[in-house]
Structure 1
Amino acid sequence: MKTTTVKRTATKTTAAAPKSAKAAAAKTPAAKAPARKPESRAAMIRRARRINRELAEVYPYAHPELDFTNPFELLVATVLSAQTTDLRVNQTTPALFALCPTPEDMAAMDPERLEELIRPAGFFRAKTKSLLGLSAALRDRFGGEVPGRLEDLVSLPGVGRKTANVVLGNAFGVPGITVDTHFGRLARRFGWTTQEDPEKVEADVAEIFPKSEWTMLSHRVVFHGRRVCHSRKPACGACPIAPLCPSYGEGETDPEKAKKLLKYEMGGQPGQRLRPPADYPGRPAAPLAAR
């Protein structure tokens, strides 16, 4: 009997194709954003100054958001503003200033009474110590007047460069860069500095802008940081300076979703439209989404 041998041809096995386009997309690596070209320092300075001009258009009424009527009130309010909101400070200071309108009055306050007055502003024990110390120093060393020099201001208890620059710029008209958390965050996002230390941030930014712009630049950047370029989720899709920002895309880029993240009034809620204070005499700024 003749035996027939059957040859078996091996077939190459191929992987099964994904069952859906969604599955295929899941297997495809996400496309990377195109790398930005290196920027010269001159180009960075031009871009930075254009950002400042654009912010001036968006926030023509930018101003310190602490309520004050004299240098002493501004100094006290700025010390109180550490680790809390300007809104909370403005709710706290009327009663405080009614009882302590001068450094002499505040220096004579009972510490426990002062603690109770400023308790809503948080860290009230440390702040009470600073307020009593700086008030006594103003009384004893400066004749009850707030000095108009940086070196004198930073010698007061609880007063650092940030507080000193706020007072100098807004009570004495002396240009200064106020590096708070908002300003430092945006300066790094804008590519003006890579520093984390506030004094180093101040030094880097001071080299980019003319001295005459320092105070208003600080207000504009802080306004933008509070209202649009938030810490955890910036509203990139509703930002008027997005084309100038090297950090575009860190936050929400969808315009409709981004608009819901906007906060325009101090203490405002998401979705509020951009508008100036009720007593601002100038023109209102256009909504960001329309720019």
Structure 2
Amino acid sequence: MNRLANFRAFLSEAPWHLWTSQLAAVLSIELKKNLFRRRSLWIYFVAFAPVLLIGAHAIHSPGGIHCNVEEDTAILAGIFQVYYLRLGLFFGCLGLFTWLFRGEIVEKSLHYYFLSPVRREVLVAGKFLAGVVTSASFFGASVLLSFAIMYGHFGGPGRAFVFSGPGMGHLLGYLATTVLACLGYGAVFLALSLVAKNPVLPSIIVLLWETFHAVFPAMLQKLSITFYLKQLCPVSIPPDGVMALFTVVAEPVSPWIAVPGLLALSMAVLVFAAYRIRSMEISYLAD
């Protein structure tokens, strides 16, 4: 009872207005770093590479003379699940979120944040939100352009599929999955950057787990971010090739479970990161 009373007192007495202002300030600073620095150019290529590929496909097949809407729907689903979920979003969030704190250490500027009158938990939240906004904006815009080009080159049949058929629902599903992927991957990589001095090796382990989680028992598959993201994709892609021989088919989960599950995972990892940074000490010589 005493702990509950203390928690209620903390919630009622906490300077929420000050923390909100500080959060907005950190968010603004970090967005400028993420969007307008030269070292951020790589994420443009990672995010928009599929747009170039689909654009070339549209030029090669104007009006859909060499393809049809059904085939291109399956192709777009494959690009989203193979490239966006397993490569683009993974490596984009890896480079972006691990650099939020490791970059400050490399540039020897993290102490400016630590010396300012800002709670470290607020700093973590601000940097995380900046990473989510940046990654979701880049990859969300890429998905939107890929979708528009894929169906736009069909002309009338493409417009009918989008506005009179299931196309708009597919687009919303892809965009929602993209945002959730940024939340999930971002929280994991932000926490890794606070735990490991060199997050490359842990990130390789995460990559292997997310890539081959389908060969593990169904219970273990549910510990993977990709497992829940695939449940939210509007068009399912069955396993093919060698992976199909080793894939363990797990019972699918409802979006009403997948979405709260991913949000809860992101929140739990973010809480851990906020707890971890409270005892973090800067050692530029060691890095």
Q: TM-score range by the shorter chain?
A: under 0.3
- Structure having the higher helix fraction is 2
Higher Rg of the two aligned structures = 1
> 1 or 2 for the larger relative contact order (CA 8 Å, sep ≥6)?
2
Relative to the length of structure 1, the TM-score reads: 0.28
Instruction: Name the TM-score, length of structure 2 as normaliser.
Output: 0.28
